[in-house]
Amino acid sequence: MNVLVLSSSPRRNGNSALMAQAAADGAREAGHRVEFAYLSDHVQGLLRDCRTCRAVDGACTIGDGYERLLLDQVVPADGLIIATPLYWYGMSGALKTFFDRMFCYTSGSATDGDGVAAGLMGKRVAVTIACEESYRGATLGVIAQFQELTRYLHQELVGVAVGIGNSRGEVAADPARPLEHAADLGRRLFDARITDYRIDTPRSNRVWAAPDPERVGTP
């Protein structure tokens, strides 16, 4: 499968980048093809008013690398690993702009809005977050935002790995081993079981497959 890692921190050797690389390594270990993209290389312009900004043919006129990133790398990917530092209890500004500007390419006035929207759906998504606070509430807001973004885009959020650290590279010292968690998310990006039940969802009384009788009782 094709996996795209989006690293949204402006620091290329900081804690967020380490989390992203760990997840990428896990995906490679699982045999997937992995591309790595730094948003700072592609996203420079903020979302503007499309009614006054679009070209006559409906194309976006913000002249940075966002369009090529979206159309050539994001849309063709089967899975996304999204890495962000925690900024003011939310995602990084570059990542927020990345999502904001999807509107330019998915709305009815876009050149191929329906096609791009269809290409964004159905992806598996894993998220890594680097922050300096171990307080669990610090990341709840941004995790909820990713839940809603993936729901809106008809994607499946496989999991979230949170690493605690401040100094550059310090996340590796987190005793919760977030780099291992990130790598595991990468490895299981297409294998993790996702369940999101409603009251009328048909389901059995088992979450996992029935145990192998030959292994029952095996330590």
- Calculate what percentage of the chain has a pLDDT beyond 90: 59
What pTM does this model have? Answer: 0.88
At 90 the pLDDT is: 95
Model confidence pLDDT, tens digit, residues 1-46: 999 999 999 888 899 999 999 999 999 999 999 999 999 998 888 8
Report, as ranges of residue numbers, the positions in the chain whose pLDDT lies below 50.
none
Tokens of 62: 């913000």
**C-alpha to C-alpha distance for 46 and 176, rounded to whole angstroms:** 36
Q: How many residues does this entry show for the chain?
A: 219
User: How high is the pLDDT of residue 44?
Assistant: 86
Residue-level pLDDT at 49: 80
pLDDT of residue 186: 96
Q: What is the pLDDT of residues 200-215, one digit of tens each?
A: 888 888 888 777 666 5
Q: How many angstroms separate the CA atoms of 83 and 15, rounded?
A: 10
Output the pLDDT for position 209: 75
Please state the three-class secondary structure of the chain as a single string: CEEEEEECCCCCCCHHHHHHHHHHHHHHHCCCEEEEEEHHHCCCCCCCCHHHHCCCCCCCCCCCCHHHHHHHHHCCCCEEEEEEECECCECCHHHHHHHHCHHHHHCCCCCCHHHHHHHHCCCEEEEEEEECCCCHHHHHHHHHHHHHHHHHCCCEEEEEEEEECCCCCHHHHCCCCHHHHHHHHHHCCCCCCCCCCCCCCCCCCCCCCCCCCCCCCCC
Domain range list for the chain: 2-187
pLDDT at 217: 53
Phi, psi of 212 (to 5 degrees): -70, 120
* pLDDT of res. 214: 64
CATH for 2-187 is: 3.40.50.360
**What pLDDT sits at residue 139?**
94
